[in-house]
Amino acid sequence: MSRSVEIWLVRHGETTANAANVLSGWSDVPLTPKGEDQARALKPLLAGERFDAVWSSDLRRAIATAELAIDFPPRTDARLREMCFGDVEARPWSEIGASLRDALLAFVSFRAPGGEDLAAFKARVVDFANRLEPGRHLIFTHGGAIRALTMDLGEDRFISNGGLCALDWTRREVLFLKESG
């Protein structure tokens, strides 16, 4: 009998963009001191757990969260990045038009002007998960990527900064969700 694919997903700690209520997408923003604390708070949750591979988005907020939570650098993959928000990248949420905000929140059909199409974004993240070898994987990524993966399982889970969500990718189910703090 083959081993299943289990995925533990960690959303990066709070960033300067999160604190300012700004869309960050592919912008490479740093963690805030609170975000660093959220990352360190993951350490006892992950201590003693065994993973076959540890992955991260290639953006520094995800890498920094990993390094603070597990004390070593993860393997990086750009497919784990957040959605690219194009022309509204690095803009305050309050300055984005209501129809665009509503479409993004619904997370069903969305494309920011000059940005990534939601369907293509979801396909890129799901493709990464589908190509994982059997085993247990720890992945440091972004809220949108976690939401894309849980939606592919028929659930819509948005987790807070520093939160953790585990999936049995083979059985197509959410195993648990642990919010930060």
The confidence score (pLDDT) of residue 87 equals: 93
Neighbouring CB atoms inside 10 A of 33's CB total 10
pLDDT at 21 over 80: yes
Q: Which amino acid is at 25?
A: G
Active site residues: 12, 82
pLDDT at 1 over 70: no
Question: Residue 181 — pLDDT band, cuts 50, 70, 90?
Answer: low
Could you give all domains of the chain from N- to C-terminal order, each with its CATH number?
A: 5-178 (3.40.50.1240)
Interatomic CA distance for residues 122 and 113, integer angstroms: 17
The confidence score (pLDDT) of residue 2 equals: 59
pLDDT in tens, 30-51: 999 999 999 999 999 999 999 9
Distance of CA 101 to the CA centre of its chain: 19
Interatomic CA distance for residues 168 and 32, integer angstroms: 31
The confidence score (pLDDT) of residue 4 equals: 96
Question: Residue 180 — pLDDT band, cuts 50, 70, 90?
Answer: confident
Residue range 16-31: average pLDDT? 96
Question: Residue 102 — pLDDT band, cuts 50, 70, 90?
Answer: very high
The H-or-E segment that residue 176 falls in is: strand 173-178
Average pLDDT, the chain: 95
Interatomic CA distance for residues 156 and 149, integer angstroms: 9
pLDDT in tens, 136-167: 999 999 999 999 999 999 999 989 999 999 99
Counting every residue written for the chain, the total comes to: 181
Please state the pTM of the whole predicted model: 0.96
Interatomic CA distance for residues 116 and 84, integer angstroms: 5
The confidence score (pLDDT) of residue 166 equals: 97
pLDDT in tens, 103-137: 988 888 888 899 999 999 999 999 999 999 999 99
Distance of CA 25 to the CA centre of its chain: 11
pLDDT in tens, 50-93: 999 999 999 999 999 999 999 889 999 999 999 999 999 999 99
